[in-house]
Copies of this chain bind each other. A is one copy, B any other.
Amino acid sequence: MAKKTAASPVESYHSQHSPFGAFSSFTLGLINSSGGFGHALRGPARQNVYIGFRESEGSRWRLLPFFKPTEWNESAFTGEAATARPPADFDPLTSDETKRTLGWASDSWSAAKGRFGFSILSPFGEMPDPNKMGIEDSRKHLSPHVNAWIEYDNTKGKKDAELVFGVGDPDRLFRPLEDTEKRLQGFAVNTEFGFATTPDEAIETRQGFDILNPRFRDYRGLLVIGGESGLIFRVKAGEKRRFPLVLGFYRDGVVSTGVSARYAYTRCFKNLEDVMLHGLAHHAYYEGLSVLRDRELEESGLSLDQQFLIAQSTHSYFGSSQLLWGKDGAIYVVNEGEYRMMNTFDLSVDQMFFEIRFFPWAVKNILEQFVNRYSYKDRIKVSSGRLSKGGISFTHDMGVMHAFTPKGRSSYECENLTGCFSHMTMEQLLNWVLTAGTYGLRTGDTEWLESRRDVIEACAESMMNRDHPKASKRNGILKFDSARCGAEGAEITTYDSLDVSLGQARNNLYLAVKTLGAWILLEKVFEKLGMADASRNAAASADRLAKTVSGYFDPKAGMFPAVFEGGNRSRIIPAVEGFAYPVYLGMTDICDRNGRFKELMDKLSRHMCKIFKPGVCLDAKTGAWKISSTSTNTWFSKIALSQFVVRKLFPEALNPKALAADRVHADWQRQPPCGSQAMCDQIRSDTGVPCGSRYYPRCVTTVLWMDE
């Protein structure tokens, strides 16, 4: 794998630093840009963040470039009586002087030849079901904070050095935390977020219009109405010191409508101060967990580009995660990045690989929410005007921005459309089957599968009906649209914003192979549940479907068409996506290239070998993977998922150009077009500019690489 070389462009990207389940981020990293604390935002906050050092009281401050030129707020108060604006006596640290390292659970900067260091830790690990946690475990796992530290090595210094960590919000003011909690030295905005350290003689609190040059000081040296607030840490000559920091979030009260719920952490933390005291008291524990995760990624054997992509994806996943508490207990939600739709199912199915690794209960929780509130039964449009029984399916999502939609309805799906915003009935039906099957089979939670036996059976029946109501006419492929689409509408897939190659659900190669994956899982699930007939039927469906798909191979082109109609000649990478599940579950029989699905796999191999060419599914200009040959809109989360399948099942397709794309994908995320919005998913393959799905959680499909 390619190693990062000096020729790479300067890195400049935001990362989200987020506790689990708080839908909150401290966003930082884009050069010459603001960031900071945000809750439930669709992108980075706009706070100035001051992090840096000066070698002595007389020398100039050196600051990481994480702020915009100060909006001078002082004049609003002082009018014409104000004297001149103080000089901005600092020099920003340049990229040449600074080294940034994004770990799986950390983000670190060093400068001044390693004497200066700053790191934000966002540790995560295996987490038990919150419904079964005691108070101590709840506080440990659900605390809405991230840890950080700042340090200076002044062992060779002749004068006392100083460090600064500060934040300024253009619209709101920070308050000194000592006013509400003497054991905290730091600042907060109202009851909502803040930063602090443990009080220490070496630390001074600063607040004013300019924290480097405070002109106005009250009885304790602050100016409470000054927007900028910070901590100044003194490191004596001859000393090396590392100071702990905690960045905390808190949102009290009912936060959601439709389903009325609070944040789960409010059950075990009484307010922001409680959270911050906890974060500081257990700094060592959280730091240890962070180090453990960082090391796990470093020792994965993956390339630095791959490691970066996993780390950046994970940071953004946690920023969208939200653990609520309703009348029946825990409600897990992943918000859809900039769109903030709740538990969008076509994201859930991709994110489950990450969730199963660390908190599999979250997957079950989402599946249960889909069954209990967001399932429905539909009819399907079998011929002009005539309807037939469809069966169970699930909504696209559960609402948006804290507003749960009514039972059985999403915030997204509209009527009488054939593109974006249409229904995804078949897609979401498959997503429930694949998520339930993968969860049950991977974790061994057969008890839960047993409890949902009726739903699983209903899903199989619904899949059959959508193939064809008459058994004799079934070939495995989706042929009919849900009546929910309306008279003029047709179902779409998760690839809603691409061209027809991936967008249309009927006769769709991607969806057909995904359906195959679902039947394969159903075959195993029914077997586990002792339902031999159902298992045999599922197996037969799988075989029939594999045969049908194989029959659509175009031997002349040596590739599959993306859609089995209208002479479609688009070529798509997600032709193999449906195999992700059996591969992930280690079904060696299914994945045997000379086994039951030999014919289909041979043809998929030929397809994949042929499409990884510039101008087909490699972008001619950038070399990036294009999920469809006929669209420049490519989705990194899906690239990562397909890479997992291709490397495991079809490694012969990976020519040097296809392999070199990791660097391209990583560089996209390290540069401002994507990097200004942390992890981005939908990207123009020819420019690297995102065209949607910014600040996005879905790219944790990269966690699959850890299993390779």
Residues of A within 8 A of B (CB): 41-42, 75-83, 171-173, 175, 179-180, 188, 190-191, 216-219, 223-225, 252-258, 271, 338-341, 399-403, 405-406, 409, 411-417, 419-421, 484, 496-499, 503, 631-633, 682, 691-692, 694
Contact = CB atoms under 8 A, between A and B. Distances in A.
Contact of A633 (B79, B252, B399, B405): B79
Contact of A254 (B171, B191, B503): B191
A46 to B, nearest CB: 11
A151 to B, nearest CB: 30
18 contacts: A76-B694, A77-B339, A78-B692, A79-B692, A80-B499, A80-B632, A81-B420, A83-B419, A179-B405, A190-B403, A191-B254, A216-B421, A219-B484, A224-B400, A224-B405, A224-B412, A225-B341, A252-B252
Copies, count: 2
A81 B173 CA distance: 43
A401 B190 contact: yes
A682 B83 CA distance: 18
Contacts of A632: 80
B190 A420 contact: no
B420 A41 contact: no
Contact of A172 (B255, B401, B421): B401
Contacts of A78: 419-421, 496-497, 692
Contacts of A406: 179
A216 B179 contact: no
Contacts of A631: 80
B81 A498 contact: yes
Given A258-B179, A403-B179, A415 B79 contact: no
Given A225-B400, A254-B252, A497-B82, A338 B76 contact: yes
A547 B297 CA distance: 84
A224 B399 contact: yes
Pick the most buried of A81, A401, A632: most chain B CB atoms within 10 A of its CB. Answer: A81
A219 B339 CA distance: 21
Contacts of A411: 224-225
B400 A340 contact: no
A472 B415 CA distance: 90
Contacts of A414: 216-218, 223
A41 to B, nearest CB: 7
Given A218-B409, A411-B225, A400 B338 contact: no
A82 B420 contact: yes
A219 B257 contact: no
Pick the most buried of A224, A419, A499: most chain B CB atoms within 10 A of its CB. Answer: A224
Contacts of A682: 79
Nearest to A416: B217
A403 B188 CA distance: 10
B420 A175 contact: no
A82 to B, nearest CB: 7
A417 B271 CA distance: 37
Given A180-B258, A258-B179, A219 B409 contact: yes
Nearest to A218: B414
A256 to B, nearest CB: 8
A357 B637 CA distance: 64
Contact of A77 (B75, B190, B497, B498): B497
Contact of A218 (B80, B219, B415): B415
Contacts of A253: 191, 252-253
Contacts of A83: 419
Given A216-B414, A217-B414, A415-B217, A257 B80 contact: no
A496 B179 contact: no
A692 B77 contact: yes
A13 B613 CA distance: 60
A76 B218 contact: no
A351 B341 CA distance: 46
A257 B415 contact: no
For the complex of A and B, list the 9 residue pairs with the smallest distance between their C-beta atoms, beginning with the closest: A79-B497, A175-B403, A224-B411, A253-B253, A78-B420, A252-B253, A216-B414, A216-B421, A218-B414
A77 B420 contact: yes
Given A79-B420, A80-B691, A224-B403, 7 more contacts: A76-B339, A76-B694, A78-B496, A80-B497, A81-B420, A175-B257, A175-B400
Contacts of A75: 691-692
Contacts of A42: 171
B419 A81 contact: yes
Contacts of A340: 173
Contacts of A415: 217-219
Contacts of A400: 173, 175, 224-225
Given A42-B171, A338-B76, A497 B216 contact: no
A147 B427 CA distance: 46
Pick the most buried of A179, A338, A413, A503: most chain B CB atoms within 10 A of its CB. Answer: A179
Contact of A255 (B191, B339, B402): B191
A373 B83 CA distance: 33
